[in-house]
């Protein structure tokens, strides 16, 4: 009986998921040569959309009509956006026209992992834009949520943040909105800082705080007012508390960078080499001592043998 109930429950869950997916219409425009790319892109869009909806407080079952254009070359990508973009940029959420524009992996040497992350990153922007227009929220908040949900704040991102922290080259919070620029190094730092800000928000106040902030803005509050309502903290104090948090969490992460690891490991290798050499030399000395002892023993045995032989050949000894 329990098995039958479980089967019924699984069928119900399957139908529910299928229903939820059925409410998501993904229109993809693509004129390139890779025929499998649209279907692959569509599958990636659907992978984590329910988790993103839950995080942003979007009710399940809501219908979405996602327009996505995959540019087949650099010229088409620029024409679709209407302006030039940094070469490192793999995708854009055009929130004014509510479209996601992606670079095709085939023309820009984009790995499958990067392509997948870009799709998910822009999808988060698309979903957030259905809750609150991206134009009225701070850029760090938008990018931070996308980086947090797509889990792009990996060890590499953390090392970038740690390095800037220790060199006192962090981008000030009030300038993060202007830091997404052609300078790849500065942009990487901006993304890392944005991710750590949302990470701080979630750790300190929970994921519910993000939903409260968005809900407050929908009711007509400013971002600062919504922040205060959701966290109890004045928005002006965020920079202070965030820096305190990253100093505690990311201060020594930069040591995991390969070039720093070399310098950390080098003394250990020198000491290890010294110990190994000392042990090896000790073994050699011990072997030499043993060989010398064996030689002395052999010499004594040989002398005894000669002495005995000489005694046996003494004259006058009876037969």
Whether residue 269 sits in one domain with residue 150: yes
Distance CA 188, CA 153 (A): 10
| Cβ atoms of residues 195 and 242 within 8 Å | no
- What lies within 8 Å, CB to CB, of 308 at 6+ separation is none
Residues in a beta bridge with 103: 71
Q: What would the pLDDT profile of 36-92 be if each residue is shown by its tens digit? A: 999 999 999 999 999 999 999 998 778 888 999 999 988 899 899 887 778 888 899
Sign of CA dihedral 35, 39, 41, 42: positive
Residue 13 has a pLDDT of: 53
Residue 3 has a pLDDT of: 66
| Cβ atoms of residues 119 and 42 within 8 Å | no
Whether residue 143 sits in one domain with residue 50: no
Domain range spanning residue 76?
24-131
The residue with greater pLDDT, 105 or 307, is 105
72-86, 219-233, 243-257, 283-297, range with greatest mean pLDDT: 219-233
Query: What token pair was written down for 16?
Result: 């529910």
Which residue among 258, 277, 296 closes a domain? 277
To the nearest 10 degrees (0 to 180), the angle between helices 238-250 and 184-205 is 100
Lowest model confidence (mean pLDDT) among 2-6, 60-64, 261-265: 261-265
Q: Assess if residue 264 is contained within a domain.
A: yes
Query: What token pair was written down for 239?
Result: 């920079």
Q: Assess if residue 116 is contained within a domain.
A: yes
Lowest model confidence (mean pLDDT) among 94-103, 104-113, 171-180, 270-279: 270-279
To the nearest 10 degrees (0 to 180), the angle between helices 112-131 and 208-218 is 50
Whether residue 96 sits in one domain with residue 61: yes
Q: What would the pLDDT profile of 121-145 be if each residue is shown by its tens digit? A: 999 999 999 999 998 999 999 999 9
Which residue among 79, 101, 131 closes a domain? 131
Whether residue 160 sits in one domain with residue 78: no
Average pLDDT for 139-158: 90
């Amino acid at each position: 009986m329990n098995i039958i109930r479980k089967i019924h429950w699984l069928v119900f869950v399957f139908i529910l998921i299928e229903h939820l997916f059925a409410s998501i219409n993904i229109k993809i425009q693509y004129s390139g040569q890779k025929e499998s790319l649209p279907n692959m892109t569509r599958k990636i869009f659907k992978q984590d959309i329910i988790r993103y909806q839950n995080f942003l407080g979007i009710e399940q079952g809501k219908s979405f009509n996602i327009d996505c254009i995959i540019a087949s070359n650099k010229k088409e990508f620029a024409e679709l956006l209407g302006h030039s973009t940094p070469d490192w940029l793999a995708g854009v959420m055009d929130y004014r026209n509510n479209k996601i524009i992606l670079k095709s992996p085939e023309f820009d040497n984009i790995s499958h992992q990067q392509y997948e992350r870009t799709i998910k990153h822009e999808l988060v922007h698309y979903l957030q834009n259905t809750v609150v227009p991206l134009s009225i929220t701070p850029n760090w908040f938008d990018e931070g949520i996308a980086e947090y949900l797509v889990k792009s704040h990996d060890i590499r991102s953390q090392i970038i943040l740690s390095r800037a922290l220790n060199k006192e080259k962090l981008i000030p919070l009030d300038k993060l909105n202007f830091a997404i620029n052609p300078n790849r190094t500065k942009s990487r730092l901006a993304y890392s800082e944005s991710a750590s800000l949302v990470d701080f928000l979630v750790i300190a106040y929970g994921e519910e705080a993000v939903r409260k902030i968005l809900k407050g803005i929908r009711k007509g509050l400013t971002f600062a007012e919504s922040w205060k309502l959701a966290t109890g903290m004045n928005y002006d104090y965020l920079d202070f508390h965030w820096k305190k948090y990253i100093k505690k969490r990311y201060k020594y992460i930069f040591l995991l960078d390969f070039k720093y690891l070399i310098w950390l490991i080098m003394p250990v290798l020198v000491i290890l080499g010294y110990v190994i050499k000392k042990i090896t030399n000790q073994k050699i000395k011990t072997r030499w001592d043993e060989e010398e002892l064996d030689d002395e023993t052999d010499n004594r045995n040989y002398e005894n043998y000669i002495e005995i032989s000489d005694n046996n050949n003494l004259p006058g000894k009876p037969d």
